[in-house]
């Protein structure tokens, strides 16, 4: 005879439902890492501006109903096109 899973599924369903309700109240959050290492003082403002533009674009995608993957892609594309970042196509491994 098979094991009855209905008892264990119900609490998981309720927990999932509670999570969905909580997530409806949460604003999207976008974090962008602009790089590591020593940044010359002359490049700091450009790096900060690039990170801000990248975050803003990713947030716009999420806020308009786009997927997380679409938001990440949009944010990385911004950084790919800016000098001073080695994201995506400019990546150095």
Write out pLDDT tens, residues 49-81.
999 999 999 999 998 999 999 999 999 999 888
43 within some domain: yes
Can you give the pLDDT at residue 53?
93
61 within some domain: yes
21 within some domain: no
Spatial CB neighbours of 84, under 8 Å, sequence gap ≥ 6: 35, 43, 46, 47, 50
38 within some domain: yes
Q: Read out DSSP for 39-51?
A: --HHHHHHHHHHH
- pLDDT band at residue 91, thresholds of 50, 70 and 90? low
* Domain that includes residue 49, residue range: 29-90
- Say how many domains are in the chain: 1
18 within some domain: no
84 within some domain: yes
């Amino acid at each position: 005879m098979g094991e009855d899973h209905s008892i264990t599924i119900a609490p998981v369903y309720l927990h999932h439902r509670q999570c969905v309700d909580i997530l409806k109240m949460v604003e999207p959050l976008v974090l962008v890492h602009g790089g590591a290492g020593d940044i010359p003082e002359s490049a700091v403002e450009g790096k900060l501006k690039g990170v801000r533009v990248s975050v803003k674009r990713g947030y716009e995608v999420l806020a308009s109903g786009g997927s997380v993957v679409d938001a990440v892609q949009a944010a990385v594309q911004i950084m790919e096109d800016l000098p001073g970042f080695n994201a995506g196509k400019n990546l150095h491994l």
